[in-house]
Structure formats: structure tokens, C-alpha cells
Amino acid sequence: MVSTCGWQCCQPQPVALQHSGGAETDRRVAARSARQQALLGATRIPRIHVVLDESALRRQVGGPGVTRRQMAALAEAAQRPEVTLQVLPFTAGACAGIDGDFVILAFPDPEDPPVVYAEGLLADLAEDAR
């Protein structure tokens, strides 16, 4: 939720999309950017808690300019009161999420169970987190 378009475009694509000619990648980047804008531009912004692996900060993606803009976007997001940004250090060892990104959506109504969304290299998955 805190990545720039340039950084998103430089990420490895799911195997199924590697031969799509870029149209599907463009669609995914646009959809991700629209979700980001809808969340961060809303009147009532939800609480967002991001845990980044240290490698996401240390690995250059897309060249120095893309990486610099991504770091600036992270710093800007971290200044918002509804955003918590944490870094999981290399010294933490193996942990949940080591295989890829995931999002846990929690809702205020106890009748609505949390939902886990994982975007992976082979496929995307959304499941009830119970």
C-alpha cells in the first residue's frame, strides 16, 4: 500500500503473466495504485500497519531514481498518524511472509472475519483468516 508505480513495475511478475506483453502488468499496477489512492485519499483513512523485510529497503529496484522515489514514499507514508511502518531485520530469521507479501484485512464488526490476501509469483489468493 506504500509502493510507487515505478517500483511496482520493476517487481517480478507472476509466471502466468510473464508472456502477457505487459498489458496485465499495467492493469495490476493501475489497480494497485487505485487501491492505494482510495485508501490514503479517503476522508476516514483506515489504520494501516506495514511490516517490510529489511531486504526491501536494501535491494535497489529499477535503478537509483526508482529506489529513491520509493524510499521517499515510505518516509512520507510513515509520517501519517494512521500508518505504522516497521522493518523486520535480517536478524529476525525465518518468519511468516518470507515466501512473499500478504495483507490481513481486519474489520470493526466482529461478525466480519479477517481476510488474508496474498499476491504471489504463481497466483493470487484471498481466504478467510479464521
Residue 91: per-residue pLDDT: 92
Q: What is the pLDDT of residues 83-125, one digit of tens each?
A: 888 998 999 888 777 777 777 888 888 888 888 877 665 555 5
pLDDT of residue 75 exceeding 80, the answer is: yes
Residue 101: per-residue pLDDT: 74
Cell of 62: 529499477
Q: What is the pTM of this model?
A: 0.65
For residue 82, what are the domain limits?
5-92
The reply to whether 128 falls in a domain is no
CB-CB contact of 83 with 77 (8 Å): yes
The reply to whether 97 falls in a domain is no
Cell of 101: 507479501
CB-CB contact of 106 with 71 (8 Å): no
The reply to whether 33 falls in a domain is yes
CB-CB contact of 28 with 124 (8 Å): no
Q: Which residue has the higher pLDDT, 66 or 11?
A: 66
pLDDT of residue 30 exceeding 60, the answer is: yes
The reply to whether 103 falls in a domain is no
**Euclidean distance between CA atoms 65 and 88, whole angstroms:** 24
The reply to whether 102 falls in a domain is no
**What is the amino acid identity at position 23?**
A
The reply to whether 104 falls in a domain is no
The reply to whether 125 falls in a domain is no
Residue 19: per-residue pLDDT: 62
Q: Mean pLDDT score of the chain, rounded to an integer? A: 76
Over residues 55-74, the mean pLDDT reads 85
The reply to whether 113 falls in a domain is no
> How many domains would you assign to the chain?
1
Q: pLDDT > 90: what percent of the chain?
A: 2
**Euclidean distance between CA atoms 49 and 83, whole angstroms:** 6
